[in-house]
Chain A
Amino acid sequence: MSPILFWIFVAIMLFFAGMVVLNRNPVASALSLVVSFMALAALYVSLDAYFIGVIQILVYAGAVMVLFLFIIMLLDLKAEVRRRMNFPAVCGGFVVILLFLKVLSDVCYGVFGGNAKLPPISQGPKGDAWQVGMLIFERYNLALQVVGTLILVASIGVVILSKRELK
């Protein structure tokens, strides 16, 4: 993928991520999140991770975001009433984030000689879905089972927590 496309997608991703935080309307935030995640999926694809990119769109844009939107609607959340900003807290938050970014950029530009090139890959006989699938079902089979349990637990939990009247 050309660098220009990369930068465009990065810009979209970061801009809409920013919108998630800055929008006062929860619905707008949720929609921004979808856009941001789609750009992210494009970046995945730019890294030859097609399977993950597809999953990203399916799960996030397709399922999670719908859930978010649904809940926002359900709860009938209005745009946040502007409350008085707690300035020390905001400043403190910015300082913490800027410092974190400073650490992060120092680390980022310090490692790998600062300019690791994208190594070429050969297109294998099987697609990456197959590769990932083999790993999941063979090497990480146990983890998969754990995730299965996790989903079981989560679904029970959701029932318990949100059913209006338990049987």
Chain B
Amino acid sequence: MTIPPFCFELFVLALGILLLLLETFSEKQDRKMFAFIGIVGLAVVFLLLQTSTPGPSGMVSYVVDSAAIFFKKISVLTTIVVLIMSIDYANAIKRFLPGSSPQSGLGEFFALPVLTCAGMMWMSSAIDFILIFVSLELVTISFYILVAYMRRNANSLEAGVKYLILSGLSTGFTIYGITWIYGVTHQTNLARIEQVLPGIPLENQPGLLFGALLVLVGLGFKIAAAPFQFWVPDVYQGAPTPITAFLSVGSKSVGFIVLLRVVQAFQSLPAVGNRLITAIILLAAATLLYGNLAALPQTNFKRLLAYSSIGHAGYILIAVAGIGSRDSGRAVVVYLAAYLLMTLLSFLVLVIVTARGEGDDIVNFNGLAKRSPFLAFGLLVAMMSLAGVPLTAGFLGKFLVFKVAFETRQFFLIALGIVTVGCGFYFYLKVVRAMYWQPASASVTSIPVSKLSLATIAIMVILIFVLGVFPQIALGLLP
């Protein structure tokens, strides 16, 4: 028996509503139970997703191809890890929410990511600009709420406002771009657009390109591509850490799947498609440079991860720009899979280390190797993978990206990539230095880690190495 493909979103949606109902109707329950329910439910969805195969969906605006399935898996996995982090982060949430009971607002904090996850899953399958727009907005509005969630925390609110305004701006550009694409092609469906594009007369092509570029701007905002990335460091720093992770992985991933679909559709008209790729190359170059260079003097770990997230968007954009190569989609997918593992791992460790109200500066990681060797090792692996040390998943991603770039002769981007990888080693190893070289300050003691987080860290570390050593597993993600 196969489950109809669109049911997965509905399962997740139902799960989210279930959590909300539980929140409403149970008074005494420990809210952390809800998180466990969410995790288990999502895990079930993830397992069910394993059975789904590409095939017709029966809807024009919704496809079920292998990329869609992959990105759904990414969304679900990310959400699971975010929920795990949220459990560890619950104390901080409580501290910054006004409530009659210590549990106030926690249920929603666990339920909203699940609903967001549904939005991401819809986005993964959407090939109609209408569906793309609404699911994108579902994700965006959820993030408005989540980012500003700790409303007694000025930083969280500030981040929320910044995200709100800038995201609204980008939404404006996106919808304006969609308008123009529709105006020229008379279609909102990417599959149809791909069909009609070759017949677009020359005089209308600037309009088409204008629209495509504005859509690119909007998506560039989502994936944190320079010069539309300015919100990233501030919002990442201000948001609750699990949400930062969610933004950094989930929001970015689905941004990329939409970008890939749009760019792919436009390839049927080379006059426009190639110029669109030129634009992506420019964005990739700017993003690589900005993300990696601005990270160099960073001293706050969360901001560092924000810049790193920008930098990685640059690498993935290189792969997107190489859409002419057979491995382009694969490179994006593999890179994102690796990125998911290593970024979530970093954030998970960050949440655990800072759970008791310590700051999230790199200095706070001093001597972590002595306080908690396991956490330090986990973060070490994450940093190695982020920096791109071979035999880790991160290296495989970079390897594919460089391969794609070489195949499509993007030598300029390769040269930039070399420089930025060098920079990357510097700032990732700054964290390693803090953990291993520096002595811990006298006041701090060892850090308690819950069994669930421990297991999650262990699994992610193993997965990072497994993907790195057996590339076929990663490549099999997108056959």
Contacts and interface: CB of A to CB of B under 8 A. Distances in A.
Given A147-B134, A150-B134, A167-B99, A142 B62 contact: yes
B80 to A, nearest CB: 19
A160 interface: yes
Interface stretch (A55-63, A126-134, A151-159): A151-159
19 contacts: A103-B210, A106-B206, A111-B184, A111-B203, A142-B59, A142-B122, A143-B61, A143-B135, A146-B119, A146-B138, A150-B119, A150-B138, A153-B141, A156-B145, A157-B144, A166-B99, A166-B100, A166-B105, A167-B100
A153 B142 contact: yes
A77 B180 CA distance: 37
Given A111-B184, A167-B104, A157 B99 contact: no
Interface string B180-199: 10011000000000000000
Interface string B42-69: 0000000000000000011110000000
A106 B184 CA distance: 15
A157 B62 CA distance: 28
Given A150-B134, A166-B100, 19 more contacts: A103-B210, A110-B203, A110-B206, A111-B184, A112-B207, A113-B203, A142-B59, A142-B62, A143-B135, A149-B118, A150-B137, A153-B138, A154-B141, A154-B145, A156-B20, A156-B112, A157-B141, A161-B148, A167-B99
Contact of B134 (A104, A113, A146, A156): A146
A153 B184 CA distance: 34
Contacts of A157: 112, 141-142, 144-145
Most buried by B among A107, A142, A143, A164: A142
B207 A110 contact: yes
Contacts, number: 100
Given A140-B61, A156-B108, A156-B112, A146 B203 contact: no
Contact of B13 (A106, A110, A149): A149
The secondary structure that dominates the A interface is: helix
Interface string A104-148: 101100111100000000000000000000000001101100110
Most buried by A among B6, B108, B183, B184: B108
Sorted from nearest, which 6 A-B pairs have the closest CB atoms? A157-B145, A166-B104, A166-B99, A111-B207, A150-B138, A146-B134
Interface in A33-61: none
A153 B145 contact: yes
A160 B149 contact: yes
B270 interface: no
A111 B135 contact: no
A138 to B, nearest CB: 10
B105 A149 contact: no
Contacts of B60: 139
Interface of B: 6, 13, 17, 20, 59-62, 97-101, 104-105, 108, 111-112, 115-116, 118-119, 122, 128, 130-131, 134-135, 137-138, 141-142, 144-145, 148-149, 151, 180, 183-184, 203-204, 206-207, 210
A165 B99 CA distance: 5
Nearest to A107: B210
B151 A107 contact: no
A143 B116 CA distance: 15
Interface of A: 103-104, 106-107, 110-113, 139-140, 142-143, 146-147, 149-150, 152-154, 156-157, 160-161, 164-167
Given A146-B119, A154-B141, A157-B145, A165 B151 contact: no
A164 B97 CA distance: 10
B164 to A, nearest CB: 11
Contacts of A146: 119, 122, 131, 134-135, 138
A143 B130 contact: yes
Contacts of A156: 20, 108, 111-112, 145
Nearest to B10: A145
Contacts of B135: 143, 146
Given A139-B60, A142-B6, A153 B98 contact: no
B115 A153 contact: yes
A166 B97 contact: yes
Nearest to B57: A142
A7 B122 CA distance: 41
Contacts of A161: 145, 148-149, 151
